[in-house]
């Protein structure tokens, strides 16, 4: 039996034309050729559970100012910014932050989304 998409409420706030691909047990959200989000809920490494937003390092600060729940993710105790920011699923206002990032995508915020190499 296939695992359901976690945090599926986000689809109510994302624009038409998105596609979902399941890769490595996570659900990748694309708009055109741009990856926008990853939805992750797993028993392994639960500190990585939540909604990952694809972005560039140059936008991290401004996005965190808009959505304070966005943060880096950690690998073995080390902070890993990369090109991703994470809204952890146990964040105090997880749903509100998720809705904000989806609305930003729906309004074409250029800070969110990356074309994979």
Rounded-to-integer distance, Cα 77 and Cα 93, Å: 24
Whether pLDDT at 70 is above 60: yes
Helix, coil or strand: residue 51: strand
Q: pTM of the predicted model, to two decimals?
A: 0.92
Note the pLDDT tens digit of each residue in 23-51.
Answer: 988 999 999 999 999 999 999 989 899 99
Helix, coil or strand: residue 60: helix
Rounded-to-integer distance, Cα 34 and Cα 52, Å: 14
């Amino acid at each position: 039996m296939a695992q359901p998409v976690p945090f599926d409420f986000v689809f109510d706030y994302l624009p038409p034309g998105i596609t979902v691909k399941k890769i490595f047990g996570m659900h990748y959200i694309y708009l055109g050729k741009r990856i926008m989000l990853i939805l992750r809920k797993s028993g392994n490494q639960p500190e990585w559970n939540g909604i990952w937003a694809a972005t560039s390092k140059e936008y991290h600060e401004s996005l965190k100012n808009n959505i304070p729940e966005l943060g880096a993710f950690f690998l073995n105790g080390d902070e890993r910014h990369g090109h991703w920011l994470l809204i952890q699923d146990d964040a105090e206002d997880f749903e509100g932050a998720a809705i904000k990032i989806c609305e930003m995508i729906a309004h074409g915020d250029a800070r969110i989304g990356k074309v994979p190499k």
